[in-house]
Structure 1
Amino acid sequence: MHYLDLSLANLHQEVDWLQIMSKLPSLSKLHLQGCKLGSMNPSLGFVNFTSLRVLNLSQNLFNHEIPYWFSNLSTGFLELDLGDNSLKGEIPPCILNIQKLEYLSLENNQLIGKIPESIGQAKNLLHLNLKANSFSGPIPSSIGNLSYLRELSLSNNQLNGTVPKSLGLLSNLVVLDITRNSLTGNIDEAHFTKLSELKFLTMSRTPLFFNVNSNWVPPFQLKYVSMNSCKIGPNFPVWLQMQRSLMVLRMSMSGISAKVPDWFWNWTLKIDTIDLSFNHIEGNIPDILLNSTFLNLRSNQFKGRLPQLSANVKVLNLANNSFSGPISLFLCQKMNRKNKLMVLDASNNLLSGELSQCLKYWQSLMHLNLGSNRLSGRIPYCVGSLVALQSLCLRNNNILGDIPPSLKKCSNLELIDLAENHLPIDIPLWIGEMTSLKILSLRSNGFRGHIPLQICQLSSLGVLDLANNSLSGLIPKCFNNIRTMTIPNNGTLPYFDSLGYHYEYGYYFETLKLVPKGNELDYEKNLKYVRMIDLSSNNLSGSIPIEIPALFQLKFLNLSRNNLTGKIPEKIGSMKELESIDLSRNHLSGEIPSSMSNLTSLSRLDLSYNNLSGRIPSSTQLQSFDAPNYIGNPQLCGDPLPQCYKIEEESFNRSIGKAKDDSENSSFYMGMGAGFMVGFWTICGVLFFNRAWRHAYFRFLENINVWVYVNMVPKMNWFVGRVKKLPP
């Protein structure tokens, strides 16, 4: 037997597989990819593979170092693939001593240490793939000795130092990938001296300076270049103009701040994918028909009208620029009516006017984001014809009127973001028919009426944001019907796939603004992990439903600034995924449930300005929050507020003081009354029993009466007479 392929067969229990295979002396090719093998028996000192030329052990379950029996492989051994295992340790010298080795893949393991300088001795290597490990140190300069090398993949490691100029000697190199490392320094013409065969150049997310002369003529004709996060600017790279075979250009976050040169747009007509996002590129897009399948110019300084598109364009991302003019000019352009566009993101620009009925010509749209512009008017009824639509974002415009019921025809919609517009209406009941919805954001619109119970039919809902409206009534008790908020999850798995569009050489992720912990944040790739209910700043009343604690997967809950009463649900501690809870500025009463001490993931808590009382439950978690998170509850005590005994003592002192004051007042009045009675009856008793004193007392009263009559009566008569003589 010369060839054996058992790939994907379950050999997990075959402990002696290596000894069995070594008994096939004529075997030259052995493929055991994905067989769930648990060990390569590193303790073995010898394995008889004298005829073997190709060995593929990738995608197994090895969790040990590379064994030294590889030194027994024949001198004619050509290909070794140990990728996608859990191999540990360093690259052993025995691997690099295989003289005729042409293909070596150790990708996606846990290998450490430096790439050995002896790698330069494997002079027959054509493919060297060491990506996705933990290699550190510099790229060995001896790699320049591998004159036959066609592929060098070192991405996703921890390599540092400068890139050796000896790489420029690899005259047969087709693929160079050093993405996601910590390499520093300059890349100049010397690094490419003899790379005439280079087709794929990838050095993204590596802090390198691409420093070449403006008149440099590259020796290569690239098909794919990815230099995201490399320092290329501020000038626009002129050498690109000489690349006539380029299909993919990715230079995001590369520090380019110049104006787009005149040659650029015509040059792009044959390029499939262009990503120049997050630079400071200036200028207008001329009146030509853009042709790239994937065009990302996000976060630059482009201005003027939106461009014309050919039917080839699938993704157009122009967000965060200064494009202006009526949106209808773009939607209604005759050439654009033939479009096949799947993604249109022109958010955060200066576009104006109404969304016209021309929206019906964009039937292929899956993601439409026109948020944060100056759009006005109503959402056109024809939006219901966009049946492929998965996300609709019109946030932060001046949209008026209502939400057209035709929108429910878009049964694939997963995200609706109409926040920060002017929609003072009831939330439509038909919203419950959009069962694919995962995200619903209607905050800051003026919505009125009750929260419809039909929202509870949205079993896939992950984000419900109705904050800052005029909603009234009770919080629905049926929120526990939203399955994605109740089904257990280990916390690391996404609740749904990323909202966006994936393309062979690119991707688009939908962005959503949320206020999970009091501050507005942008969520993109991590949106799929969010579970949130925000009903804050409304006029909701009643108690917090006891069904709320059944939302085990909820991470952010905000019910603040309403008119809620009653107690905090006792079982709220079962919501162990909660990271933020805000119940402030309501009329909640009673004690804080002791179960809240179980919320170990909590990083934000606000219970301020309610009528809560009693002791704050003791736990490291609840005591980690500052006093302002509890203030406005006079009867609440315990760390971080004043200790309960102080409040009890103050209350006791107040009651004692009041009792003391009452006692003193009572004693005063009782004493005064007793004194009056004693004095009164003493005088009466003396007058009653002593005749001489009684006669003297009555003579005293008679004398006073005579004195008043003699002295006061004449004067009163004189005064009355004078008054009568006064003229009227």
Structure 2
Amino acid sequence: MDAALAFRLLLIVATTTSCSVYAHCITKERDALLSFRAGITSDPQNLLASWSGKDCCQWRGVKCSNNTSHVIKVDLRNKFFLDDLFAPFYSLSFRGMHGKISPGLLTLHHLKYLDLSGNHLGGVGIPIPSFLGSLRRLIYLNLSCMDFDGMVPPRLGNLSKLQYLDLDNSYYDYYGYGNVLLSEDMSWLPHLPFLRFLDMSGVNLSAIGHWVQVVNMLSNLRALHLRRCKLVFKYTPLVYRNLTSLRMVDLTNNMIENLNPTYWFWDAGTIRHLDLSYNMAVGPLPDAVGNMTSLEVLRLGGNNFCGVKAKTLKNLCNLRELTLSSNSINQDISEFLQGLPSCAWTKLELLDLTSTNISGEIPNWINQWTNLSILQLSANRLVGSVPLAIGSLSKLSHLHLDYNQFNGSILEEHLSSLVNLKELDLSYNSLNMMIRPKWNPQFQLSLAYFPGCKMGPRFPLWIQGQRDVSYFDISDADIVDNLPDWFWSVFSNVTYLNISYNQISGRLPRSLEFMSSALIFDLNSNNLTGMLPQLPKHLVELDISKNCLSGPLPRKIVAQNLSDLLLSDNYISGAIPSYICQLPFLSVLDLAKNRLVGQLPLCSKQSFISALILYDNLLSGKFPSVLQSCPDLILLDIAENKYTGELPAWIVNKLPQLSYLRLRNNLFSGSIPHQLTELQNLQFLDLANNSISGSIPHSLFNLKAMMQDHYHREIADNPLSWSYSRPGSTEIFDAKYDDTLEVVVKGQYLDYTSNIAYMVCLDLSHNNLFGEIPNEITSLVGLMSLNISHNHLSGKIPEKISLLQSLESLDLSWNELSGEIPASLSGMTMLSKLNLSYNNLSGRIPSGNQLQTLIDPASSYIGNNYLCGPPVSRNCSGPEVARGRHDEHQSDSDVRYLYVGMAVGFVLGLWLVLLHSYLLGRGELLISTCLTSYCAD
């Protein structure tokens, strides 16, 4: 809201009321307020705690007229929710009051000011109460950031004295709640002739094509906010222009595709503040912008303008703020800055050129911009050193130079005169912080970001005086030192703390509960020791992975808002405590690579966990039955433990969202349950190094997530980025698993972080599987890695194996496969690792295309005695191979003839013996001798 306008509105209220201590409550109005209180089911902030006793004029949020004692103001604004960006993450109490608005308020006939913003007094299917349109003396009505759903009541048009109307619903619209405010008729607006401030942001106005004509009738309107309204933009000729008082126009996030020079706001000569940020406007800046000579604030960030030229703005001598972020300037910074109106150089307070593709060095004459308070040049191609002239900008409060290519040093001279500096971001440049340890800066930073800067090897002691820091990041800063004793007390009020990827040593304190504002801690990849401390009450994310923590986990935990708890790669021992089940918002739990023993604790209620990573511990028992209470589980990794028994069939019903299942290096037995193939989202299955037997299920074609090739896998489909809601709340939160997972691909252990989301893998190696490879496996065209080696599989390689065009690694080694290698294998263009060794394969090895580029191709075929052709030395047409093939076929014939010959010989021999005996018995020796001689011949 415009500050001058807000002051005037408050002045209006102030002139009609004085200190309510002199007023006395009117009984029926007191009863009306009590009826409102009766409709409130929850008041976690105790806004209504003082609403008792006879004199309602003394109640919190209530003001009465000193002259008439009538209630003229009710202000129950939820300041915690509206004024704090991170408030939704604290707890449900910060959502303010819950309940309904009682129609008893209609008794307050003299009410001029009503503010219920930021409270939860609506709900799905509950619109703004139309009876509020009967409070005809209202001058100020604020229902913003509430959860109403449905049509905006036209009866608000009865509030003919209204000067301030705020129905901002953009919070709910932005976060994708089911609550939708909309209006199909704005004809009631012109009935508010005194309206000065209008905010309908987040209200769907797509059905109203003539909204410009309607707004044009509000001759006293000074501030117009229509963010995220799905506005229809078309040429709307105005017969007369009635918006002669308009100062502020905010039309952000309306998907405007072009800024037509005929649009009405270009000719509104009184506009001082124009915000068209985060639309979809393309092309060059319209020349019409340069005619708005009254402009003081111009915000065009988040569009797709290209080749933005500063000369378009040369007539804007009153310019105080200019935001062009995320557009394409594509010019040297010196040239662009010189093109800006020189008449505004000493007036400009804010310049935001973030992500505009500017290049070159910051010019030394930047010190002529003497009024500059905010300078944001992040994410560009700026080079060279940061000029000392920056240090002359004594009014500078925000300096953001992150994600550029600056080099050189940051000296005390850069910062010593910046006494008003509040935010300093030098992240990810090649800068050295050459600052004396005993230097005592004059400023007090609230944001101090130095990741990737060289601050070490000693811990930067000059930050000891920065006791107002809320956001602090010195990650990857080459610090090799002990954490100073004063560290935790200096940063006791921090909200975000990141010291990761250094070599910082030191023992963690026993408790960090005193850090009541902390939301996010990232301490991973250091040398911190000690046990996991008691955590701050409101902490949401904690990462102390890759340190040297030891001992058991604490017996209790007060941080009930934890959503991410990452403690992998430490020396934590003992059992997993039962309170893990009681963390209502826990979404990611990573305790991998520790020394944990026992089993997962039994949970008595449903868990909302989405990623559970416990690999490389000493956990044991059957497949954890507690997981039946985790229906939202997406990633499960319990590899490299001592789990036994068979895989349960209930996985498909109890874990329907499962996408990543990693069970390798355990003691699981039994067969692969066919129900496992009914998991529609399963794209990563690793059962390697167990004792699983039986055949590979033919129902593999049910694995739909493995049947989508990577060309059609959208980023939005990333199953490791998810939204979740908290019990008892309609709020939606975003989460992402982004820690390191070890995955065996191409015979190597590889580390994956969030890119594991795009890995499609099936690994059944090192088990006791038998039977043939099912042809259905060729339907899994999304597979990038397939490993079924070290089993007892027989038969042929499926002829259609080449359908797996996304395969990068194929390992069928150490089985009993026979027959020829399918020639189509050479057409698998992504294949870089192939292992068919130690089988009974025969025939010519396919050649050409991708097979010529394999890693170590000769080793892919060893242990197959009857394969020939490159890369093996055996020639397909040579005598050795011919003899081998002949011998192979002959050996089979020889065996058959041997058995037949043995049978015939046995019968003939027996006949001769009997005949010989007979002849001897008759004395016919001569005949016997002849027969014997004949048989011998």
Is the TM value for this pair above 0.5? yes
Q: Are 2:328 and 1:107 aligned?
A: no
1:586 Cα deviation from its structure 2 partner: 1.9
1:387 Cα deviation from its structure 2 partner: 1.6
Equivalent of residue 788 in structure 2, options 536, 559, 568: 559
What's the counterpart of residue 491 of structure 2? 268
1:159 Cα deviation from its structure 2 partner: 0.9
Equivalent of residue 253 in structure 1, options 461, 471, 476: 476
Alignment of 1:144-155 (within 5 A): 144-155=367-378
Equivalent of residue 400 in structure 1, options 620, 628, 633: 620
Separation in 2, partners of 1:453, 1:149 = 67
Task: Tell me the TM-score normalised to structure 2 length.
Answer: 0.63
The amino acid of 1:299's aligned partner reads: S
Equivalent of residue 584 in structure 1, options 801, 809, 813: 813
8 Å CA contact 1:224, 1:246 repeated in 2: yes
The amino acid of 1:423's aligned partner reads: Y
What's the counterpart of residue 387 of structure 2? 164
What's the counterpart of residue 523 of structure 2? 297
Equivalent of residue 533 in structure 2, options 291, 307, 317: 307
Q: Are 2:550 and 1:324 aligned?
A: yes
8 Å CA contact 1:347, 1:369 repeated in 2: yes
1:313 Cα deviation from its structure 2 partner: 2.7
8 Å CA contact 1:60, 1:84 repeated in 2: yes
1:97 Cα deviation from its structure 2 partner: 5.5
Equivalent of residue 486 in structure 1, options 707, 710, 715: 707
**CA deviation profile, 1:694-719 (whole Å, cap 9, x unmatched):** xxxxxxxxxxxxxxxxxxxxxxxxxx
1:131 Cα deviation from its structure 2 partner: 0.9
**CA deviation profile, 1:481-505 (whole Å, cap 9, x unmatched):** 2222224662452533435899999
1:186 Cα deviation from its structure 2 partner: 0.9
Equivalent of residue 519 in structure 1, options 734, 737, 748: 748
| SS of residue matched to 1:570 | coil
8 Å CA contact 1:405, 1:430 repeated in 2: no
| SS of residue matched to 1:269 | coil
User: What's the RMSD between the two structures over aligned residues?
Assistant: 3.5
8 Å CA contact 1:543, 1:565 repeated in 2: yes
What's the counterpart of residue 664 of structure 2? 443
Equivalent of residue 547 in structure 1, options 773, 776, 797: 776
Query: Per the alignment, do residues 387 and 588 of structure 1 end up closer, same or farther by CA in structure 2, a change over 3 Å counting?
Result: same
Separation in 2, partners of 1:228, 1:20 = 52
What's the counterpart of residue 213 of structure 1? 436
8 Å CA contact 1:169, 1:195 repeated in 2: yes
- State which drifts further: 392-401 or 82-91: 82-91
**CA deviation profile, 1:362-388 (whole Å, cap 9, x unmatched):** 555332222212222x20442565723
- State which drifts further: 165-174 or 204-213: 165-174
8 Å CA contact 2:258, 2:281 repeated in 1: yes
| SS of residue matched to 2:775 | coil
- State which drifts further: 253-262 or 193-202: 193-202
1:161 Cα deviation from its structure 2 partner: 0.6
The share of aligned pairs that are identical, in percent, is 36
**CA deviation profile, 1:153-202 (whole Å, cap 9, x unmatched):** 11111111111121122222222111111111111221123322222221
Whichever of the two has the greater Rg, that structure is 1
8 Å CA contact 1:438, 1:463 repeated in 2: yes
Q: Are 2:438 and 1:187 aligned?
A: no
**CA deviation profile, 1:272-317 (whole Å, cap 9, x unmatched):** 2211111111111133334333222111111122212242333222
Separation in 1, partners of 2:733, 2:884 = 77
What's the counterpart of residue 509 of structure 1? 738
Equivalent of residue 448 in structure 2, options 221, 225, 232: 225
Query: Per the alignment, do residues 109 and 619 of structure 1 end up closer, same or farther by CA in structure 2, a change over 3 Å counting?
Result: farther
Q: Are 2:680 and 1:459 aligned?
A: yes
Query: Per the alignment, do residues 653 and 352 of structure 1 end up closer, same or farther by CA in structure 2, a change over 3 Å counting?
Result: closer
Query: What runs of 5+ residues in structure 1 fail to find an aligned partner?
Result: 659-728
The amino acid of 1:349's aligned partner reads: N
What's the counterpart of residue 390 of structure 1? 610
Q: Are 2:868 and 1:608 aligned?
A: no
Query: Per the alignment, do residues 594 and 107 of structure 1 end up closer, same or farther by CA in structure 2, a change over 3 Å counting?
Result: farther
Separation in 1, partners of 2:238, 2:883 = 90
8 Å CA contact 2:331, 2:358 repeated in 1: yes
What's the counterpart of residue 717 of structure 1? none
Separation in 2, partners of 1:308, 1:157 = 41
Query: What runs of 5+ residues in structure 2 fail to find an aligned partner?
Result: 1-215, 725-731, 888-937
| SS of residue matched to 1:216 | coil
Separation in 1, partners of 2:249, 2:600 = 63
- State which drifts further: 79-88 or 500-509: 500-509
| SS of residue matched to 1:423 | strand
1:210 Cα deviation from its structure 2 partner: 1.5
Q: Are 2:853 and 1:624 aligned?
A: yes
Query: Per the alignment, do residues 492 and 622 of structure 1 end up closer, same or farther by CA in structure 2, a change over 3 Å counting?
Result: farther
The amino acid of 1:620's aligned partner reads: N
8 Å CA contact 1:138, 1:160 repeated in 2: yes
Separation in 2, partners of 1:128, 1:52 = 19
Separation in 2, partners of 1:22, 1:509 = 57
Alignment length (residue pairs): 644
**CA deviation profile, 1:557-616 (whole Å, cap 9, x unmatched):** 111222222222233333332222222222223333344344323332222333333444
Query: Per the alignment, do residues 36 and 536 of structure 1 end up closer, same or farther by CA in structure 2, a change over 3 Å counting?
Result: same
Separation in 2, partners of 1:428, 1:656 = 47
1:48 Cα deviation from its structure 2 partner: 7.0
| SS of residue matched to 1:479 | helix
Separation in 2, partners of 1:283, 1:135 = 42
| SS of residue matched to 2:877 | helix
What's the counterpart of residue 422 of structure 1? 642
**CA deviation profile, 1:8-53 (whole Å, cap 9, x unmatched):** 6778995xx5x969997978766664555555589xxxx9786664
8 Å CA contact 1:25, 1:49 repeated in 2: no
The amino acid of 1:470's aligned partner reads: S
Separation in 1, partners of 2:441, 2:486 = 18
1:523 Cα deviation from its structure 2 partner: 1.7
Separation in 2, partners of 1:465, 1:657 = 42
8 Å CA contact 1:88, 1:110 repeated in 2: yes
Query: Per the alignment, do residues 537 and 499 of structure 1 end up closer, same or farther by CA in structure 2, a change over 3 Å counting?
Result: farther
8 Å CA contact 1:302, 1:322 repeated in 2: yes
What's the counterpart of residue 689 of structure 2? 468
8 Å CA contact 2:316, 2:341 repeated in 1: no
The amino acid of 1:431's aligned partner reads: I
8 Å CA contact 1:511, 1:524 repeated in 2: yes
What's the counterpart of residue 718 of structure 2? 496
The amino acid of 1:565's aligned partner reads: S
Equivalent of residue 457 in structure 2, options 224, 234, 237: 234
Task: Tell me the TM-score normalised to structure 1 length.
Answer: 0.80
Q: Are 2:300 and 1:95 aligned?
A: no
Query: Per the alignment, do residues 370 and 38 of structure 1 end up closer, same or farther by CA in structure 2, a change over 3 Å counting?
Result: closer
Q: Are 2:562 and 1:341 aligned?
A: yes
Alignment of 1:35-50 (within 5 A): 36-39=255-258
Query: Per the alignment, do residues 568 and 62 of structure 1 end up closer, same or farther by CA in structure 2, a change over 3 Å counting?
Result: farther
Q: Are 2:379 and 1:379 aligned?
A: no
| SS of residue matched to 2:742 | strand
Q: Are 2:503 and 1:280 aligned?
A: yes
1:420 Cα deviation from its structure 2 partner: 0.8
8 Å CA contact 1:444, 1:468 repeated in 2: yes
Separation in 1, partners of 2:759, 2:538 = 34
What's the counterpart of residue 178 of structure 1? 401
What's the counterpart of residue 668 of structure 1? none
Separation in 2, partners of 1:88, 1:392 = 45
What's the counterpart of residue 725 of structure 1? none
Separation in 2, partners of 1:12, 1:442 = 53
- State which drifts further: 463-472 or 598-607: 598-607
The amino acid of 1:226's aligned partner reads: Y
